[in-house]
């Protein structure tokens, strides 16, 4: 059996690991090859994110060592502090504490690059076959499998092709023509700055900070009438300089990523010039000015200081993530683009890999496909079950993210007042368990429960 994975982001790497783990005992000669368009591993590339407890739980299933390293180097953040642009603290939103989700470490703020590198290291230790500089141009179903064609003229055949190639997925275009990710009308801008750029009053008083009794959080999310601004630590390792992520989101009709720094500066200053913190200081504009200057001085030589422009996309909800014969399958952003407001992009993508690998292994055993070398029934049923398990969960998270994104668009005076009033009331009475349906998801237990009701 040959499996081709297109894309080696976190989604593709996670899928590779679980397929290798669950299929090798059944099919010792299974061949799994991942192809990446970048010429080298994307080490050090990418922005920052919040990694939810369910994502950390899945990463722990990959490697307890990788999980421990991610926890040690990231910033645990059990609560978010919600403010408005006039300096009023609306309340604290539970994000996920270690006590609420034991064994996971709770919510962690981190860089995408650090998470990617830890998972890649696990795969390299397993001898994973990853080919770089291979751009897929076509995915074509054939009678005896699926043909994958590359820009360099090479073509390979596979029994199964997994599209983990992101928002603009080539695999999705081939298997599901006309289904595309759509621009949400929001654009995020952000970078990483040292803690010296953050107002002292918002810095953690100690590491780890006391999230159990504190009335504040170093992860600050501010809502205005014309957008959103957030900032948070992304590391807490003793001896390392503390770094912060910051991001600004607002409405836009332009989804281009190649925006001149002068235009970014103009937009950010205009948007946030009058926003104040609870102590009355215009701390947000000071963060912006620091980040702009840092970018101008170092972006060409140090990519970690570059301001990124990230248009927000959402996925037209798909009927299924699998071709009818199960030979082509989508995972992560290829199947369900998660706007950043969900905080679940990486976590759900990692779950996808576990779920499918476990379902496929189950079907190969049930149909005795390893003995007959005929995988058609196993692939068709595993693909069907994969959509059946993943789609309802992913769709619900996408719907919540869409509602959250609407609060970052331009609002009238009345809409802003109503948002602040109802949001403040909600936060006053919100339960610590509000994140349980999403963050408390244990992917291995869910698969086992699902399979109990199947032949």
pLDDT for 44 equals 62
pLDDT for 175 equals 86
Owner of token pair 């978010």: 80
DSSP code string of 16-53 = HHHHHHHHTTT-TT-EEEEEESSSS--TT-S-EEEE-H
Q: Taking Cα atoms as reference points, which of 203, 50, 16 lies closest to residue 122?
A: 16
Asked whether 349 and 331 are in contact (CB, 8 A), the reply is yes
CATH number at residue 198: 3.50.50.60
The first and second tokens of residue 116, run together, are: 């990617």
Owner of token pair 């982001």: 9
pTM here is: 0.94
The first and second tokens of residue 199, run together, are: 């107002």
236 pLDDT above the threshold of 90: no
Evaluate the CA torsion angle 34, 39, 40, 42 in order and state its sign. negative
What's the whole-number mean pLDDT along residues 183-199? 92
pLDDT band at 402; cut points 50, 70, 90: confident
Helix (H, G, I), strand (E, B) or coil at 135: coil
pLDDT for 174 equals 87
Q: Taking Cα atoms as reference points, which of 54, 12, 10, 59 lies closest to residue 32?
A: 12
Residue 183, domain extent: 2-452
Residues forming a β-bridge with 326: none
Residues with Cβ within 8 Å of 409's Cβ and at least 6 positions away in sequence, in order, are 185, 186, 250, 251
Q: Taking Cα atoms as reference points, which of 113, 91, 98, 110 lies closest to residue 232?
A: 110
- Rounded to whole angstroms, the Cα distance separating 308 from 285 reads 17
- Rounded to whole angstroms, the Cα distance separating 198 from 151 reads 46
Asked whether 236 and 242 are in contact (CB, 8 A), the reply is yes
Owner of token pair 């590491």: 207
Cis bond upstream, residue 208 (ω within 30) = yes
What's the maximum distance between 2 C-alpha atoms anywhere in the chain? 72
Q: Taking Cα atoms as reference points, which of 97, 73, 343 lies closest to residue 230?
A: 343
How remote is the C-alpha of 346 from its chain's centroid?
A: 3
Owner of token pair 């992101």: 166
pLDDT band at 238; cut points 50, 70, 90: low
- Rounded to whole angstroms, the Cα distance separating 281 from 160 reads 57
Q: How many domains does the chain have?
A: 1
63 pLDDT above the threshold of 90: yes
Strand 181-194 vs strand 160-163: parallel, antiparallel, or unpaired?
unpaired
Q: pLDDT for 266-320, tens place per residue? A: 999 999 999 999 999 999 999 999 999 999 999 888 888 999 999 988 876 788 9
Helix (H, G, I), strand (E, B) or coil at 329: strand
322 secondary structure, DSSP code: B
- Rounded to whole angstroms, the Cα distance separating 417 from 283 reads 22
Owner of token pair 């706007």: 339
Q: pLDDT for 16-38, tens place per residue? A: 999 999 999 999 999 999 999 99
Where are the extended beta strands (E) located within 255-341?
308-315, 328-330
Where are the extended beta strands (E) located within 89-135?
89-94, 108-111, 129-132
Q: In Å, what is the CA distance from 170 to each residue of 42, 148, 156, 354, 450? A: 19, 10, 16, 22, 30
User: With DSSP H G I counted as helix, E B as strand and the rest as coil, what are the percentages for the chain, rounded to 5?
Assistant: 40, 25, 35
pLDDT band at 45; cut points 50, 70, 90: low
397 pLDDT above the threshold of 80: yes
Evaluate the CA torsion angle 428, 431, 434, 439 in order and state its sign. positive
What's the alpha-carbon Rg for the chain, to the nearest Å?
A: 22
Helix (H, G, I), strand (E, B) or coil at 340: helix
What's the whole-number mean pLDDT along residues 392-397? 92
């Amino acid at each position: 059996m040959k499996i081709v994975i297109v894309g080696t982001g976190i989604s593709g790497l996670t899928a590779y690991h679980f397929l290798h783990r669950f299929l090798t005992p059944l099919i010792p000669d299974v061949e799994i090859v991942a192809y990446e368009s970048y010429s080298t591993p994307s080490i050090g590339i990418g922005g920052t994110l919040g990694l939810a407890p369910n994502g950390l739980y899945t990463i722990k299933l990959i490697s307890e060592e990788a999980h421990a390293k991610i926890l040690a180097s990231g910033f645990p953040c059990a609560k978010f502090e919600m403010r408005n642009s006039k300096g009023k603290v609306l309340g604290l939103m539970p994000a996920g504490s270690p006590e609420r989700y034991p064994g996971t470490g709770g919510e962690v703020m981190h860089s995408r690059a650090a998470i990617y590198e830890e998972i890649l290291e696990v795969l390299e230790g397993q001898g994973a076959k990853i080919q770089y500089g291979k751009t897929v141009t076509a995915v074509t179903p054939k009678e005896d499998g699926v043909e994958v064609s590359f820009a360099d003229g090479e073509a390979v055949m596979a029994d199964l092709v997994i599209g983990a190639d992101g928002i603009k997925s080539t695999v999705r275009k081939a298997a599901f023509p006309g289904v595309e990710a759509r621009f949400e009308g929001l654009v995020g801008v952000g970078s990483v700055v040292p803690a010296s750029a953050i107002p002292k009053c918002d810095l953690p008083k100690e590491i780890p900070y006391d999230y159990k009794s504190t009335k504040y959080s170093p992860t600050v999310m501010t809502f205005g009438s014309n957008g959103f601004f957030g900032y948070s630590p992304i590391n807490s390792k003793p001896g390392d300089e503390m770094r912060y992520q910051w991001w600004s989101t607002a409405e836009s009709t332009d989804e281009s990523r190649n925006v001149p720094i002068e235009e970014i500066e103009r937009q950010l200053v205009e948007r946030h010039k009058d926003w104040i913190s609870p102590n009355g200081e215009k701390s947000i504009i000071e963060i912006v000015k620091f980040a702009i200057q840092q970018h101008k001085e170092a972006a060409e030589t140090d990519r970690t200081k570059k301001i990124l422009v990230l248009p927000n996309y959402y996925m037209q909800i798909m009927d299924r993530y699998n071709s009818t014969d199960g030979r082509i399958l989508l995972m992560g952003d290829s199947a369900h683009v998660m706007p950043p407001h969900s905080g679940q992009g990486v976590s759900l993508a990692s779950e996808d890999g576990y779920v499918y690998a476990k379902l496929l292994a189950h079907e190969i055993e049930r149909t005795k496909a390893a003995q007959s070398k005929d995988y058609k029934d196993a692939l068709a049923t595993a693909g069907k079950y994969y959509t059946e398990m993943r789609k309802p969960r992913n769709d619900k998270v996408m719907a919540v993210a869409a509602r959250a994104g609407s609060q970052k668009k331009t609002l009238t005076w009345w809409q802003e007042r109503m948002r602040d009033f109802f949001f403040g009331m909600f936060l006053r009475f919100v339960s610590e368990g509000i994140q349980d349906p999403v963050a408390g998801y244990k992917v291995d237990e869910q698969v086992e429960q699902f399979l109990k009701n199947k032949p």
